[in-house]
Amino acid sequence: MRTRGLFVKGTGVFVADRIAVTDAVAAGLYEPDEAEIAGFVSIAIAGDVPAVDLALRASRSAIEHAGTPVGSLSHLLYVDVYHSGPEGWLPHSYLQRQLAAGQAFGAGIRQGCNGMFGALALADAGLRAGPGDRTALLVSADNFSSPTLDRWRCNPGLVMADGAGALVLSREGGIAEVLSVGSVTLPELERLHRGSTPLHPADATVGRPLDFEARFAEFASSGGFGPGSGLGFVQEFIGLADRLLDEAGLELDQVSRVLFNHAGRAVVEDRLGPLGVKLADTTWEFGSTVGHVGAADQVIALDHLLTTGAVGPGAHLLLLGVGPGVNIAGAVIRVLAAPPWVS
């Protein structure tokens, strides 16, 4: 989907304090062989800081950096992967109270690790429908500290990390322009992240732990992977990347960096290898110092590239992600200016 005229006015990030992976291995939290394969250096862990407060810090930074009043917000879209607080309570309403953004349309998005791409698509449509001076706040946050989740072992090739990333979007210019956004789902792989886990009662109501490794094994042993499943995934992955670039009017060799989920080295190489993308052309090295922050990875990496000056005006970025569904999503962004809030 072409999204020209959708601008990033401000970014905001909050990443929790990080612990060294070597310390986690020494403490018996993480297997040495897994650590070697994944290549993570450190992982952000927030302890008992609520995910929604991580989101609040990132949101305030993004709004301040955008230089726009909270009253201009027409949309506040909150993305999370794991539980954000009490059942029956809405984290985006908490942000609306804390930010005094009650006039904005607030909603939550649950699209797994690709939630920010869904939020981009919705914000694009929402901003097109309203006055040109309106803005949208998109924020993704998670705290995976939980007795029903082992952040080190629950998801093969990944380590779950805590933090938040936020964007303020506008139709009136900014430091970057979103040129395209899109996604594709392989519904035949829906059960991959479910395995044989019953749909009812819900995991959270009975304290059932999240273990994707076990679910993946259950799916495979039940014959879930049909002939050509792997090839089909690769074709859809390449096809989406090609479509996003075509809609942006670009070729892959015009892309400065590829921003992917903060997964382990082997996972990133496996996913991006078919595109011909080298690890050095991604943000993996930075991501290896943070860990997998749910749907916030690409925003956190984007903020890092912009604020460190690793990319400058004229650079094109390809953002890609894979999440449950199985869903593949992405976007193309053109950098227009250096962030004015960075001295």
Question: For each of the chain's 343 residues, which pLDDT tens digit applies?
Answer: 999 899 999 999 999 999 999 999 999 999 999 999 999 999 999 999 999 999 999 999 999 999 999 999 999 999 999 999 999 999 999 999 999 999 999 999 999 999 999 999 999 999 998 888 899 999 999 999 999 999 999 999 999 999 999 999 999 999 999 999 999 999 999 999 999 999 999 998 999 999 999 999 999 999 999 888 899 999 999 999 999 999 999 999 999 999 999 999 999 999 999 999 999 999 999 999 999 999 999 999 999 999 999 999 999 999 999 999 999 999 999 999 999 999 7
Top-level class of domain 2-173: alpha beta
At residue 254, the pLDDT reads 98
| Domains of the chain by residue range | 2-173, 179-335
102 Rama class: left (phi>0) / alpha (psi -120 to 50) / beta: alpha
The residues, ordered by sequence, that sit 6+ positions from 260 with a Cβ below 8 Å of its Cβ are: 268, 271, 272, 282, 283, 284, 287, 297, 298, 319, 320, 321
Residue partners of 169: CB distance under 8 A and separation at least 6 = 6, 7, 8, 9, 120, 123, 124, 127, 135, 136, 137, 138, 178
Predicted local distance difference test score (pLDDT) of residue 36: 97
CB 140 within 8 A of CB 164: yes
Q: Give the CATH number of domain 179-335; options: 3.40.47.10, 3.30.420.10, 2.60.40.10, 3.40.50.300.
A: 3.40.47.10
Q: How far apart are CA 227 and CA 102, in angstroms?
A: 51
